[in-house]
Amino acid sequence: MADSNNAAAGSNSSGGTNNAEVQIQIPGPSKAEGSAAAQETPGKPLRWWVMVAVDVFFLIAGQTSATLLGRYYYTQGGRSKWISAFVQTAGFPILFFALFFFPAKSPASCSNTPMAKIAVIYVVLGLIIAADDMMYSSGLKYLPASTYSLICASQLAFNVVFSYVLNSQKVTPLIFNSVVLLTLSASLLGVSKESQGVTGVSGGKYLLGFVLTLGASCTYSLIISLMQLTFENIIKKHTFSAVLNMQIYTGLVATFASVVGLFASGEWRSLRGEMNAFRSGQFSYLMTLVWAAVSWQIAGIGVLGLIFEVSALFSNVISTVSLPVIPLFAVMVFHDRMNGVKIVAMLIAIWGFASYLFQHYLDGKKAKKASGDSAQG
């Protein structure tokens, strides 16, 4: 998952650490606005802005490079969808280093929920993530990188639906406008024959890639909302180590499921021949997979950092900033055709993203004002 990638805006991390681990606020603007407003910190130090900027860079750079490397794998002769899904979570051991620096420092930062219950949640989410990774890898196999990234923008629209149903997020006119625009953007690409740009891919496989990528975006948004629901109602301790544990152990399950899929499908038998036939060489084959795995984890660190410093939804919103970045790189690296339909779809999607981001800005401004008024009172 990429983006494992992977939701609620407007909540900020609490300022004090004391003797317990720093607490973070996962939920965003919901129907209970007063609570969110009370948690808003009026001012942010320079260090906070620097950390947010670094996390944004990690997320955009990691997601962009991972997507391009995934497309490069297929372009150079790679065929295994299970290997492509595998690398999206296989780099999870890297996160143990972050867990080493952000351990649970006191019993107060530990959840009272039975470990067996949490383990079941990790397994269920991990299996959903594995299925999501498989859909993403299949979509990327049949679609140009530029088309793929534009369809992925629909995750914001799906996120609104799941956040409203599962997390009680308000649907404002700006958010509704964003949903309509992002849906329109994806629909333009889906019905346009001009968007088909992968050599040797039939119209049927292109349509399959479109449906799978759309389904993967929907599933990713569901995963984000379920993770938020888990933090709010089960784990109930919004700490950085809790978020890291969620990422690590769901990644472990998803990686194991991908390995099982690789052997059950029989694709493992063709890996040696695939590596030998890789157009840029065996070493390039290995480095493509290794750096794709590292890139997904860099993006994951950015996701976790933004959840820690701001909120889960803001992290999800920032992940769509790569929307105009990936198509431009795809045109330069893979010579994807940037035709009129793609340009219109990109502009509509950027408009939808800007609408969503502006709502996040208004929510933060309103919460800041409410916090100031309560302090004066």
Is the CB of residue 221 less than 8 Å from the CB of residue 7? yes
Per residue in 291-341, pLDDT (tens digit) is 999 999 888 888 777 767 776 667 767 776 666 667 677 777 766 666 777
d(CA 137, CA 4): 13
Q: What residue spans define the domains of the chain?
A: 33-104+113-371
Residue 195 gets which letter from DSSP? Answer: G
Please tell me the pTM assigned to this model. 0.74
Per residue in 231-268, pLDDT (tens digit) is 778 887 667 777 788 889 999 999 999 999 999 999 99
d(CA 329, CA 68): 8
Tokens matching residue 81 = 């969808």
Q: Which residue has the higher pLDDT, 258 or 146?
A: 258
d(CA 161, CA 159): 5
- CA distance readout (Å), 135 to 121, 132, 195: 21, 5, 19
Instruction: Please report the pLDDT score of residue 215 as a whole number.
Output: 93
Per residue in 51-81, pLDDT (tens digit) is 888 888 988 889 889 988 988 998 898 989 9
Instruction: Please report the pLDDT score of residue 107 as a whole number.
Output: 47
Is the CB of residue 257 less than 8 Å from the CB of residue 132? no
Per residue in 12-36, pLDDT (tens digit) is 333 333 333 333 333 344 444 443 3
